[in-house]
Amino acid sequence: MLEDHQTAPSTTPWPAAYPQGYAVVDVETTGLARDDRIVSAAVYRLDARGEVEDHWYTMVNPERDPGPVWIHGLTSDVLEGAPLFPEIAEEFASRLDGRVLVAHNAVFDWSMIAREYARAEREAPVRQRLCTIALSKELGLPLANHKLESLAAHFGVVQQRAHHALDDARVLAEAFRPSLQAAARGGVRLPLLECRPLTEWTDRAAPRIGRQSGGYSSGGYSAGGYPSGSWRPSRKRPACPYPNPGRYEPGKQLKQGMRIAFSGDTSVERDLLEDRAVEAGLHVATSLSRLTSLLVTNDPDSGTSKVVKARQFGTPVVDEAAFGQLLRDVEPASKK
């Protein structure tokens, strides 16, 4: 699917150091873990000033259960006749080649894309990425949260089919253009990060939730950027700006300000999970106390100190998959 768009050129003076082109990307996946697969992908190619050049969309047969159909809407029957990733890898690469990859929570989209190319024994032609969450922070946009729908609403972009790769990419492209132009006007340095392609991949059986497969290597680095198997340094985070509203009530939404603790292995990099929690307005706690709102663990029967304390205090417990779903719709903090 391909369309060309012609728009009037912007009169904004343009920083010479800015990239010459962008590929706004969205992928829908079977899940969030290292062994999950892409089920659909979309790319909007933009010129140096953020104007749309063309767009492309494809479904992808993941060769496994499609995962959260209630989110992306792609059933096994629909995906059965879709091409395998190696069959669309060249076309996908041509859309990315020579451009900065732009995505909302770009580390996730890049990680999924890099793993698919590694499985196909190829390398994605991406050297830099730009996260629109990071850009909105650099611009100081007055957003209630860092969801794509909030960014879209800020710029008056109407979303038609949330979690459909093509529409999500369109929405992001339309919101990125004014963001980029605002950055140019203000002389803001774009928050560009290096992309390290994966060079090795070993397919293994999909692990039980919470069991890391260790199935890939990127020059000895994990997706979080630390040497594989190394000690993970603690990260100082800014204080949560919202008061703690209390414990999480099963069946209801998380609320901004809730204290979240993690215990045990996670399929998604811990740093990424913690970053997503902080961006949603939650307080990531390093220990568990009577004030903790929720414990996230994939092994509730373990004897870790956090799990033991959660039992003693009656702290609610959910697994990583459930927490990922809860993060999609966090209730704003109550206004005083």
Three-class secondary structure assignment of 208-262: CCCCCCCCEEECCECCCCCECCCCCCCCCCCCCCCCCCCCCCCCCCCECCCEEEE
Lowest mean pLDDT among 151-155, 197-201, 301-305, 314-318: 197-201
> Which position has the higher pLDDT, 251 or 208?
251
Q: What pTM value is reported for the model?
A: 0.62
* 148 SS3 class: helix
Which pLDDT tens digit goes with each residue over 155-185?
A: 999 999 989 999 999 999 999 999 999 999 9
Is the dihedral angle over the CA atoms 266, 269, 274, 280 positive or is it negative? negative
Asked if pLDDT for residue 41 goes beyond 90, the answer is yes
For 282-307, what is the mean pLDDT? Answer: 90
> Measured between alpha carbons, how far is residue 130 from residues 16, 62, 91, 101, 294 in Å?
17, 26, 21, 6, 31
Asked if pLDDT for residue 221 goes beyond 90, the answer is no
Which pLDDT tens digit goes with each residue over 182-214?
A: 999 999 999 898 887 777 666 654 433 332 233
Please, which residues have CB within 8 angstroms of residue 146's CB and are 6 or more apart in sequence? 133, 136, 279, 280
> Which position has the higher pLDDT, 179 or 36?
179
% of the chain surpassing 90 pLDDT: 57
Between the CA atoms of 267, 68, 307 and 211, what dihedral angle is there, to the nearest 10 degrees? -30
Q: Are 259 and 283 in contact (CB under 8 A)?
A: yes
For 301-323, what is the mean pLDDT? Answer: 89
**Helical (H) or strand (E) element with 130:** strand 128-131
pLDDT of residue 74: 95
**Helical (H) or strand (E) element with 314:** none
Lowest mean pLDDT among 36-50, 267-281, 293-307: 267-281
Is the dihedral angle over the CA atoms 34, 39, 45, 49 positive or is it negative? negative
> Measured between alpha carbons, how far is residue 257 from residues 260, 293, 313, 323 in Å?
9, 9, 19, 15
pLDDT of residue 50: 97
The DSSP code sequence of 2-54 is: ------PPP-S---TTS-SEEEEEEEEES-SSTT--EEEEEEEEEETTS-EEE
CA pair distance 120, 51, nearest whole angstrom:
32
